[in-house]
Chain A
Amino acid sequence: MNTSNNREIKNDKDSILELANSLRWDVGPNYYDELMESIYKDAAKIADNAISIADEKTGFDWDRFLDKLLTSRVSGFPIMLLILAIVLWITVAGANIPSGWLSTLFLDKLHPVLSDFAITIGMSWWLKGILIDGMYLAMAWVVSVMLPPMAIFFPLFTLLEDFGLLPRVAFNLDNLFKKAGAHGKQALSMSMGFGCNAAGIIATRIIDSPREKLIAIITNNFALCNGRWPTQILIATLFIGALVPPAIAGFISAMAVVFIALLGILLTFLSSWFLSKTILRGEVSTFSLELPPYRPPQILRTLYTSLIDRTIFVLWRAIVFAIPAGAVIWLLANIQVNEVSLAEHIIQGLDPFGVLIGLNGVILLAYIIAIPANEIVIPTILMLTVLSKTLTGFGEGAGVMFEFEDLSSYQTVFAAGGWTLLTAINLMLFSLMHNPCSTTLYTIYKESRSVRWTVVSALLPLLLGILMCLITAQVYLLFV
């Protein structure tokens, strides 16, 4: 009795499902959309009946006034650029002081203490080299040069975000991004990239369509990050500034750095356009950009979240990569084959190609082994130059990165390395256009979950940089 009843119900269920399935052919393709629309319509009706809006506020409308100011044809772009420039200037200038403290603590004070300690407990010289001069030093270096700029830039940036300025930047720039086949919100990840590319790539999460998000990820590297500003400034001051009378040297070298940064922005647009015409074809399918009302930023919360979510997060990843890289750097400089260090062998191997593209073997090797952070490229170049040219009186020994206090020492070492104006120009270009640091690459992998796109993100700027350096070198040699 019971079983037959069950079977009947089961049969009923099957026949209902069958009927429903056959009816699906009749309701047509837009059935879901129509259903959704009627649900939304009902919801809107209920909401309209239930919600009463108080009389509009009278008096001066700050939001509209600010919107007009920030998005006007005349004042929109200058204000945007000015604010970004101020933030970057505060970051670069302001980071020097705490960076100095940290490097005094970690490099000048703690490093000798650790070295002495290692010797006292009878650690063999090579183990001490790998652990203290390699791993510890690379980590300490990364912390002392990365932490202060990030701790300044991220809170400032988050404040601007909270205040509501950044969506207006995206709004202003969207037309340009549209022409490049990208999303206006890429303006946000690009601006963030000026602070740190890894953070810029995390910021692409706000772009909800996968194609435009990938474009934003791959091109983020063209935003000159905090780790590269100091390199640009140093090289521009030493080589570009030296070309003109001292009175305007500062101005001209600043202009050279600004030019590189603007070139980076141009490349962001060009490469976005290139990608959306080739491997990432298509158009922006869904676009909507909310311009939230301006609100006073919550300073304490901002400080907390930007320090925890962004600064510590990025720094941790950088440290993880810096430690093994430090060991590699030290080992390359200290393992000897035929009584010459491995680093020198590689430098010799890379030199012909390096010279062809207007750089040299030392710079190329430095870019390979200093992959954990752009901040340690210059110290690595210095160490490798001193090592390969067997300069005496400079540095701390093979495999130990260092930096100078005064510009003239830089000049001496670079001159000994055979640097010319071309080397300097191409180093500035290559610093803008080369593979992202390992922290950024790892972040790209995490965000895109694809080895392929990670490889594309690394190779696109690298190949572009090599090509650009090659052209510059050949043109330069025509005239000099």
Chain B
Amino acid sequence: MINVIYVMLAIAVTIIFIAYLFHPKKGLIYRIQRVRQNIQRRFIEDALKHNYHCETQQLACTIQSLAGALSFNIDRTTKLISRLEELSLIKLNGKGLHLTSQGRRYALGIIRTHRLWELYLANETGIDEIEWHSIAEIEEHKLTEDEMDKIAEIMRYPRFDPHGAPIPTKTGEIPPKKTIPMTELNVGDYARIVSVEDEPKTIYAQITALGLCQGMEIHILEHTPQKIRFAAEGDESVLAPLIAANINVNLLQRKPHIRTSKYTLADLDPGKQGTVIGISTRIRGQQRRRLMDIGIIPGTLIASQIRSPGGDPTAYEIRGALIALRRKQARQIYIDPKKKTGDQR
């Protein structure tokens, strides 16, 4: 016996399946085409980016270096290059590849998208900083210029990405690099970290693992060919020069005003109190404002009150209100644990 329901069901399923295949905007076939176009676009854009980075670092960009950067073989790279020439984005000059002015504009557009994405991820999501770069690396190829302009407008035309690198403007304006690598500092120098290179990933991971980020003030304690020892925000760190070369700094002419200390809010056990000295530069944007909103401002007296049965968070009395913060945040707030004399009655 053929059940009517089954026949109706079978027809419905077939119709839905066909619609799914051929739908003009969301259908499977359309999507496959889109993906293929996107892959092509991605290679072109990655090639231009590589070329631009070579230019800024004054390195020669060749077929070989491009093949290395894209993990392509030479054949495939040559094909890509001829396509780029067709689009008059690059010029082949002897062995070297050079960006045309049109190609440079395009490359700057991609870099702008990449850095805006990183800033968005840093400010608006809870995604770990290690992953910002790789996510931006994929997303940068998906948006049109108009969409990016809208995002830039919402973010109020930011000028720097979360690593401190400048974001090109819409017209492709970007300031010349004025910083020096950390390896050029001498013992006793004070400097401020301006930007941290987010590539290669392994080196970047080591830098972030030490909690170093742009905006931090550092003091060089020891500098030998093997290592650089320095103080940053109350902690002492040691880096190999290979890694330190990925940190760009500005030399400071005199000792900066101290806004950090050895003690953080996380060191305050319930019943103890301390005065806020500053919030770590690692906390930025909205997160920083949130902390200031609840009254964590240099000079504020904070008393640790109760700890959750789970050990975290801890509730602090801040300007008359009882507010719970997690240990991870409390660790970013520098305090002076000395008791103010005026509070002992």
Task: List B residues 303-319 near A (Cβ within 8 Å).
Answer: 305-313, 315
A36 at interface, CB cutoff 8 A: yes
- Smallest CB–CB gap between B138 and chain A, Å? 14
Q: Please state if B4 and A337 are interface contacts (CB–CB under 8 Å).
A: yes
Select the stretch in B51-59, B99-107, B283-291 that faces chain A: B283-291
Give the segment of A68-76, A155-163, A391-399, A414-422 that binds chain B.
A68-76
B306 A67 Cβ-Cβ under 8 A? yes
Assess whether A348 is interfacial by the CB under 8 Å rule.
yes
A172 at the interface (CB under 8 A from B): yes
Asked if B125 and A282 sit within 8 Å, CB to CB, the answer is: yes
Q: Are A29 and B126 in contact (CB under 8 A)?
A: no
User: Contacting B306 at CB < 8 Å: which of A28, A71, A281?
Assistant: A71
- Does A349 lie at the interface of the complex (its beta carbon under 8 Å from any beta carbon of B)? yes
Contact of B310 among A28, A36, A172, A289 (CB under 8 A): A172
In the complex, the answer to whether A281 meets B323 with C-beta atoms within 8 Å is no
Q: Of B9, B175, B214, B311, which is within 8 A of A175 by CB?
A: B311
A447 CB within 8 Å of chain B: no
Asked whether A33 and B288 contact (CB < 8 A) given A172-B310, A282-B125, the answer is: yes
Q: Which residues of B contact A36 (CB under 8 A)?
A: 288-289, 292
Segment with Cβ contacts to A, from B14-22, B61-69, B142-150, B294-302: B294-302
* Closest chain A CB from B155 CB (angstroms): 11
Q: Does A176 contact B (CB under 8 A)?
A: yes
Q: Do A282 and B159 contact each other (CB < 8 Å), given the known contacts A291-B322, A338-B4?
A: no
Distance of B80 from chain A, by nearest CB (Å) = 32
A285 in contact with B287 (CB, 8 Å): yes
Does the CB pair B215–A287 fall under 8 Å?
Answer: no
Which A residue sits closest to B299, measured CB to CB? A44
Q: Roughly how many angstroms separate A171 CA and B325 CA in the complex, as a whole number?
A: 10
User: How far is the CB of B74 from the nearest CB of chain A, in Å?
Assistant: 37
What's the least CB distance linking B20 to chain A, in Å? 15
CA A53 to CA B285, docked complex, whole Å: 32
Q: A77-B309, A174-B324 are in contact. Are A285 and B284 (CB under 8 A)?
A: no
Q: Is A405 an interface residue (CB 8 A)?
A: no
Given that A284-B126, A289-B323, A345-B3 are contacting pairs, would A41 and B297 also be in contact in the complex, using a CB cutoff of 8 Å?
A: yes
Q: Residues of B contacting A408 with CB < 8 Å? A: none
> Within the assembled complex, what's the spacing in Å between the Cα atoms of A281 and B298?
33
Query: Are the C-beta atoms of A291 and B127 separated by less than 8 Å?
Result: no
B86 contacts A by Cβ under 8 Å: no
Q: Which residues of B contact A37 (CB under 8 A)?
A: 279, 288, 292, 297-298
Shortest distance from the beta carbon of B273 to any chain A beta carbon, whole Å:
14
Of the candidates B299, B310, B321, the one having the most CB atoms from chain A within 10 angstroms of its own CB is B310
Quick one: which of B285, B313, B320 contacts A289, CB cutoff 8 A?
B313
Bound Cα distance A77, B310 (Å) = 11
A64 proximity list for chain B (CB < 8 A): 305
Also in contact, A349 and B308, with CB within 8 A (given A25-B175, A37-B297, A171-B315)? no
**Which residues of chain B come closer than 8 Å to A342, judged between CB atoms?**
5
Residues of B within 8 A of A406 (CB): none
Query: In the assembled complex, which residues on chain A have CB atoms less than 8 Å from the CB atom of B323?
Result: 288-291
A286 and B308 contact, Cβ closer than 8 Å, known pairs A281-B127, A291-B322: no
Measured CA separation A30–B289 after assembly (Å): 12
Within 8 A of B (CB), among A13-46: 24-25, 28-30, 33, 36-37, 40-41, 44-45
Q: How far is the CA of A291 from the CA of B214 in the complex (A)?
A: 34
| Residues in A neighbouring B299, C-beta threshold 8 A | 41, 44-45
Complex Cα spacing A76 to B291, Å: 28
Task: State the interface size on chain A (CB cutoff 8 A).
Answer: 52
A-B contact count (CB 8 A): 139
The answer to whether B325 touches A172, judged by C-beta atoms less than 8 angstroms apart, is no
If A30-B284, A44-B297, A172-B308 touch, does A288 touch B126 (CB 8 Å cutoff)? no
Contact of B309 among A29, A72, A288 (CB under 8 A): A72
Asked if A288 and B324 make an inter-chain contact with CB atoms under 8 angstroms apart, the answer reads: yes
Distance to closest chain A CB from B247 (angstroms) = 15
Which residue of B has the minimal Cβ distance to A34? B215
A41 to B128, CA, bound (A): 30
Tell me whether A317 is interfacial, beta carbon within 8 Å: no
Q: List which A156-194 residues lie within 8 A (CB) of chain B.
A: 171-176, 178, 184
In the complex, B329 has a CB within 8 A of chain A:
yes
Q: Known: A291-B323, A349-B5. Is A172-B309 also a contact (CB below 8 A)?
A: yes
Query: Complex Cα distance A251/B345, Å?
Result: 56
Q: Does A403 contact B (CB under 8 A)?
A: no
* B274 CB to nearest chain A CB (Å): 16
Establish whether residues A348 and B215, one from each chain, have CB atoms under 8 Å apart when the complex forms: no
Judge if A346 is at the interface, Cβ distance under 8 Å. yes
Is B113 part of the contact surface with A, judged by Cβ < 8 Å?
no
| B109 at the binding interface (Cβ < 8 Å) | no
- Bound: A36/B310 CA distance, A: 34
CB of B166 within 8 Å of the partner chain: yes
A172 proximity list for chain B (CB < 8 A): 308-310
A289 CB contacts on chain B under 8 angstroms: 313, 323-324
Query: Measured between C-beta atoms, what is the minimum distance from A80 to chain B in Å?
Result: 10
Most A C-beta atoms less than 10 A away, residue of B160, B288, B309: B309
Nearest A-chain residue to B158, judged by Cβ: A29
Instruction: Please tell me if the beta carbons of B313 and A44 are within 8 angstroms of each other in the complex.
Output: no
Interface flag for B241 (CB, 8 Å): no
Judging by beta carbons under 8 Å apart, are B321 and A290 in contact?
Answer: yes
Cβ-closest chain A residue relative to B289: A36
CB distance B292 to A288 under 8 Å?
A: no
CB-defined interface of A57-71 with B at 8 Å, one 1/0 digit per residue?
A: 000000010011001
Most chain B CB within a 10 A radius of its CB, from A211, A287, A342: A287
Instruction: Determine how close the nearest CB of chain A comes to the CB of B108; give it in whole angstroms.
Output: 15
Q: Which residues of B contact A286 (CB under 8 A)?
A: 286-287, 290
Out of A33, A41, A45, A346, name the residue touching B285 (CB < 8 Å).
A33
| Complex-state Cα separation, A287 to B325, whole angstroms | 6
Q: Please determine whether B125 and A178 come into contact, CB atoms closer than 8 angstroms.
A: no
| Contact status A287-B297, CB under 8 Å | no
Contact B325 A288 (CB under 8 A): yes
Bound: A10/B292 CA distance, A: 39
Interface centre among B297, B299, B305, B311 (most CB of A within 10 A): B297
Q: Does B326 contact A (CB under 8 A)?
A: yes
Cβ contacts under 8 Å, B125 to chain A: 211, 282, 285
Cβ-defined contact, B3 with A348, below 8 A: yes
**CB atoms of B159 and A24 under 8 A apart:** yes
In the assembly, what is the distance between CA of A283 and CA of B312, in Å?
15
Once the chains are docked, how many angstroms separate the CA of A160 from the CA of B333?
A: 33
The answer to whether A287 and B5 touch (CB under 8 A), given A24-B159, A25-B175, is: no
Query: B211 on the interface (CB 8 Å rule)?
Result: no
- Which residue on chain B has the smallest CB distance to residue A209? B126
Besides the known contacts A29-B160, A41-B298, A68-B306, 18 further A-B residue pairs in the complex with CB atoms under 8 A apart: A29-B215, A30-B214, A30-B281, A33-B284, A44-B295, A45-B299, A67-B322, A171-B315, A174-B313, A175-B308, A175-B311, A175-B312, A184-B313, A284-B326, A288-B324, A290-B323, A292-B321, A349-B3
| 9 residue pairs bridging A and B, Cβ less than 8 Å apart | A37-B297, A173-B310, A174-B310, A282-B128, A285-B125, A287-B326, A288-B324, A290-B322, A292-B321
- Interface residues, chain A, with chain B CB atoms under 8 Å away: 24-25, 28-30, 33, 36-37, 40-41, 44-45, 53, 64, 67-68, 71-73, 76-77, 171-176, 178, 184, 209, 211-212, 281-293, 337-338, 342, 345-346, 348-349
